[in-house]
Structure formats: C-alpha cells, structure tokens
Amino acid sequence: MYRILFFLLFISFSFAQQTDKVDFISCEALLFPDFKTKSISGTVHYLFEIKNDIDSVKIDAKNMEFSAIYLNDNNKKELKYKYTNDHLILYDGLKKGLNGITIKYKAIPKQTLYFTGESENSQIWTQGQGKYTSHWLPSFDDVNEKVIFKIGIYFDEKHQVLSNGKLINKINPKFSNEKKIFWEYEMQKPMSSYLVMLAIGNFEKQTAKTKSRTPLEFYVDKNDVSKFEPTYRYSKEMFNYLEKEIGVKYPWGIYRQVPVRDFLYAGMENTTSTIFSQDFVVDSIGFNDRNYINVNAHELAHQWFGDLITAQSGKHHWLQEGFATYYALLAERHLFGDDYFYEALNDYAQQLKRASKTDSIPVMNEKASSLSFYKKGAWALHVLREDIGTKNFQKAVKKYLKKYKYKNVNTDDFLKIVKEVSGYDVENFKKVWLETAGFEMEIAQKYLFKNKFLQEYYALRKSKKSLAELTEILKSDAYYPIKQYIVYQTIHFPFDERKVILESALATNDVLVRRAVAESTAVIPEAFKLQYESLLNDNSYVTKEIALVNLCTNFPEEREKYLFQMRRLIGNNDKSLRITWLKLAYETPKFENQRLDFYLELLHYASAQYESSIRQNALETLLSIDFMNKKVITQLFLASKHHKWQFTLFARTKIRELLKNPEYRKTVETLAETSDKTMKELYLKFLNEKL
C-alpha cells in the first residue's frame, strides 16, 4: 500500500510539472460519434516536444478503451503505457525533441458528451468547462496545456456537424456505401482542451460578415427558422462594438453560435463556436421576456477573455468571467444607453450586498461563488475603468491581450500592465476588490450616483410623494424601473386611490411597466376589468400568462371566453403559457368533455420527448392535479435520471417529499413489483433511502 501511495504521489507531482517539460503542439482527431450506443470512438494523432528529461508523459482520458497506441514513425512502434481509468501514462519509446503518437480509443461518456432527443430531432453536443473534454477525447484537463486542434467527424448526412475552427472539408467518402458525411474542422492557433466542442443536430444556418470581414454563422433547429432574427438580434452590432472597444481584432477567423436542447448552462464560449441554451431561441414576443443579448455578448467577449488568454488556475477565474460579464454590460450600454447599464450595475450591487451576509470567500479564491467571479469581478473592472479613465483602461487591456495572446495569465500579469499604463495603486485595488470578501456598497454607490436615473430612483425610495406626484412621474420620460417601483409600492393602496396609478402605468405602453400592473393586481375590481383585459394582448408571453390566470380567477363566469382567446398560443420555449392554459381548461366545468385530452397533452409534455424545462412545468401541473397517477409517478422518477442537475434536483426533491405520504409510497412499491428491471431499480433506489 505504501508503494502504491508513493507511486500515485510521484506521478501526481510529475503531472503538475509536465507543462514545463512537455509541449503538446497539435492534435488531429478522426471521430465517430454513435447515437444508438451513446458512444464515441476515434483515432487521435498528437505531436509534442519533450524539452527536458521526464519519466513519463500523461494524457487525460476518462473511462476509455484503447485498441492501439503507437509512435508515428515508419515502423508504427507500439508504446508501453499504464492506464489508471483517468490518465493514459506513456513510459517508454519517447525521445527528447519532437514526438508523434497515435491513439485509437472508444468511450461511452457519462458526462461532457451528451446525446439528446430522438431520430431526426436527435442532438449530440459537448460541455467541456467544469466537466472535462477528457471524458470523450484523450486530451488535457490542465488549462495551461494549449494545443492546435484539427477535428474530423464522420456522421450521417441528415445532420449538421459543427466543431472548432474553419470547415475545410465536407465530403461523402467514396469508399462508403453509408449515407454519411465526413466533416473536417481546423484551428490555426492553440487553445485549451476544455474549449473543444462538437454540436450535431438538424440545424439551419444563416450567415453575416462583420466590419472586419469576420464570417458569422448563426444556427437554429430546423423547426425554428422563423426565430432567427429575434434570437440573434444585435449580434453583428455587438461584435463590431466589442472588437473596437477591446482594441484587438477578433483572433479566430470565424465565429458561430448554435443552440442545443437541455444545455447545462446559459452558454459556453468554445473557441470560434459558442453553444447556448435552446431557451434563448425566441420569437418577437418572447424576445421581451427572455432574450439572448447579454449571454450572446458574454460568450463573445470570452473569445478574447478566456479563449485568447486563459487564467492559469481557478484562483484567477475572475479574469475570464469578470471580464466577460463587464464587456457584455458595455455592449448592452452601447445598444441601450447609460440608464440600462447603470440599472444592471445596481442590480449586481444589490445581489452582492445581500450575498455578503453569508459569502465569506473573496474573488481571488478558486472556491469563490459564481456571483463573485462574474458580478463582483465586473464591478472591480468598472471601478478600475472609472478610476484610471476609459483611454487608460482600453490601452491596458489592449497591451495585456497582445502580450499574453494564446498563453495563460494570472491577476498580477494584468495589474502590472495597469500600473505601467496609469500609475494606479493596484495593490490597494487588489486588496479591496479581489482579496477581501463582501461588497463595499458605500464605495459602489459613489460610482452608481454618477447616473441621474439612479439618483432619482434612490431619492424616490426615500421620499413620500403624493398620488398626484407619482402619477406625474408615470407620465414622464423617467426610466422604466422608477415606474415599476411606483406600481409595486402602491400595491396595498385602496383601489379607488390606486386606479389612477394603474391607468397611468398601462398608458406608458412599456411592456415591463405593464407587466408590473399584471403582477401586482391579483384582485381585479369590476371597474378595472376592461383595462386589465388589454394585458392579454401585450407583446409578452409572461404578461399574457399572468393576466390569463388572474382574469380566470377573478371572473370565473368568463373563463371560457379568456381561454378561447388564448387557445392557440404556446408561449416561450418552456411552453409555460400553454401548460398554464391546459391546467385552467382542465379545471373549467364547461370544458369537462375535453378534460382527458388536456390531461393527455400534459402527460405528453412530461415525457422524455421534450426538454427538461417543458417536462418540469408539465410535471408540476400534473402533480397539482393528480400526484397519485401512475403515469405521472413514472415520469417523475424518470426525470431523476436526467443529465441536467436543476431538473434532477426538482424530481428528487419532489419524490422524497411525496414518499412521506404512506399511500404514495405504497403505490410506488406496487409499481416496483410490476416494472421491468431498470424501472424497478430506480423505484427501489428511492424507496430504500432512509426517511
């Protein structure tokens, strides 16, 4: 045991030193994803230089099978290796200087490479950051190892296949009788392995070119072609702005974006090829509820901050997320103005202030929260930009990117350049904003109050204005959060007093101010009914849904009229509006003859054919209608196996809560006895947990 422990400690130490002694230069991979078996196989060629004597060379590879590993020489000499189920360790046959090796492998990844959907709607996509590309491609979990990738993928002709870099080949191999296509993508510059991506699906494409002539590629699912414009609205404008603001030309030659179903996060900045969540694919109405603009700008900014230069370790992660968050805000400021920008900064500050009560970890710590990395990091940069001036800030960022391009960086690398450019006290800045936990709200407000809108907003919160004065503000050109605040703050006023506030708010024709009326008026007086009904026509599915529920609740005798008016609407990607409609219709006596149809549609949305956001909405509704239904129970338990942690958390929490009910537990026990082996194991997994 001591010898094994010594060996593991030895190789761990050796791996940590590998990037100093071994430089992996390029990777050429030929990949064969297989949707039926949820597997991937391939051949990978690595070229690398051994610069100093080293006992072994490590490549990260999780749960893989290897059929061959050999030198790329005339004799194709087989290499001796050890495999730890996490690492491929090469011991013999390598020499100082250039080496080339070939690895043939197969993997059935448990994470990082995901297979979703069915038949023509099937998708395959990756998520490398935080999950490790080494689950599907022998590669490097150390972000400091940067490689030039060339990826070839062999897949059926019905699907679009995307990877990093420029598409240099798309052919139907003559030697194959299969209806498959060989796609070949090539990078010109090195990048970290976590940024390697695949996205395969039934996508349609549109293209554009930026001012600098960089090609842009926009993808959506073939069923969403009508949503191209609202989904990608302002994309080219933001690209042009960021390229100019950052002062360094976009470094990768091409930029594409593709939405996938059940993506784990909002988006991921894979080099040249961002993957983002299908939830951001919207029509013109949905655009007002949840759009892609901020995520779009954030992932684009990462192409410089994170991809061109990469933080050496988690301690310096803010150099990626703080920068991307701040530059996304700058892009939105360019589009929507100062008030929008300062409202977002104020929102960040309020979040950070609330979190500071319990969050004791500073930004420069690998265990810092996402809120700290992203939003406190952004605030730190805003303070820096304001303190040293825009021109000095731009000069420092440009110098920083040019000096460290295609390399790894730490916080001091950046701050040293800031000091050189401006003479700024970077040590104090670092201590206050990066090394100290909490949030300096008093300092932040000095920067926030440079904005007139926020001055007025905070003054309003401290004042006691009359109804007449509040009404005049609603009729003014004040920025919408001020008007929202007035609507919410008068929620407990008697209706006779509040009526003028509500009417003035509706008259603004601002979607968000009108939504505040919908949300804050759960009890609708008869005298306000006609005006409230106008909310059903707003360009917001969220507002429509709130208004529909409140109108049906307040005026049950007219439920049929409201439901008929909204019967053809689906809503946003999560189908929340349609699912709410189905619940209301199911509970409406006049639709009793159609109840089974409504229930079956809800069950359909709860099935694995749909995304987790739709399934969760459907399951929540079904549980409120009949949580004992065996089909509902089955779908809830199946949800606990999903790859998206937010959905599985919902399912597991609900299951454990419901199993406390003896009748429910007995029903699940009966299902376990009569189900197939897979479902039985799933039921027993929860039944056997200690209460």
**CATH code, domain with 258:** 3.30.2010.30
Claim to verify: residue 185 and residue 236 sit in the same structural domain:
no
Claim to verify: residue 131 and residue 89 sit in the same structural domain:
yes
Claim to verify: residue 266 and residue 311 sit in the same structural domain:
no
pLDDT value for 176:
60
pLDDT value for 489:
96
Look at residue 96 and tell me if it is in a domain: yes
Claim to verify: residue 226 and residue 108 sit in the same structural domain:
no
The answer to whether the pTM exceeds 0.85 is yes
pLDDT value for 92:
84
Claim to verify: residue 272 and residue 318 sit in the same structural domain:
no
Look at residue 519 and tell me if it is in a domain: no
What is the C-alpha end-to-end distance of the chain, expressed in Å?
Answer: 38
Claim to verify: residue 154 and residue 283 sit in the same structural domain:
no
Beta-carbon contacts of 380 under 8 Å, excluding residues fewer than 6 positions away, are 318, 322, 363, 429, 433, 434
Claim to verify: residue 252 and residue 361 sit in the same structural domain:
no
Claim to verify: residue 57 and residue 193 sit in the same structural domain:
yes
DSSP class of residue 139?
B
pLDDT value for 10:
37
Look at residue 607 and tell me if it is in a domain: yes
Tokens read off for 75: 């004799």
Q: Which residues of the chain have pLDDT under 50?
A: 1-15
Tokens read off for 16: 């940590």
Q: Please spell the DSSP secondary structure of 303-366, one letter per residue.
A: TTBTTTEEESSGGGTHHHHHHHHHHHHHHHHHHH-HHHHHHHHHHHHHHHHHHTTT----SSST
The 3-state DSSP class for residue 287 equals helix
Look at residue 556 and tell me if it is in a domain: no
| Domain boundary, last residue among 197, 230, 254 | 197
Claim to verify: residue 671 and residue 633 sit in the same structural domain:
yes
| Domain boundary, last residue among 405, 425, 453 | 453
Domain that holds residue 338: 304-453
pLDDT value for 1:
41
Instruction: Identify the CATH number of the domain in which residue 386 sits.
Output: 1.10.390.10
pLDDT tens digit string along 647-688? 999 999 999 999 999 999 999 999 999 999 999 999 999 999
Look at residue 569 and tell me if it is in a domain: no
| Domain boundary, last residue among 242, 269, 303 | 303
Distance CA 575, CA 82 (A): 50
8 A C-beta contact, residue 504 and residue 471: yes
Claim to verify: residue 37 and residue 180 sit in the same structural domain:
yes
In 521-594, alpha helices (H): 529-533, 541-554, 559-565, 576-586
pLDDT value for 17:
60
Residue 53 burial (CB count, 10 A): 7
pLDDT value for 120:
81
Q: Tell me how many domains the chain contains.
A: 4
Look at residue 170 and tell me if it is in a domain: yes
Claim to verify: residue 322 and residue 295 sit in the same structural domain:
no
Distance CA 613, CA 279 (A): 8
Look at residue 458 and tell me if it is in a domain: no
Strands (E), 466-556: none
Look at residue 466 and tell me if it is in a domain: no
Backbone torsions φ then ψ of 586, nearest 5 degrees: -60, -35
pLDDT tens digit string along 27-63? 999 999 999 999 999 999 999 999 988 889 999 999 9
Claim to verify: residue 4 and residue 141 sit in the same structural domain:
yes
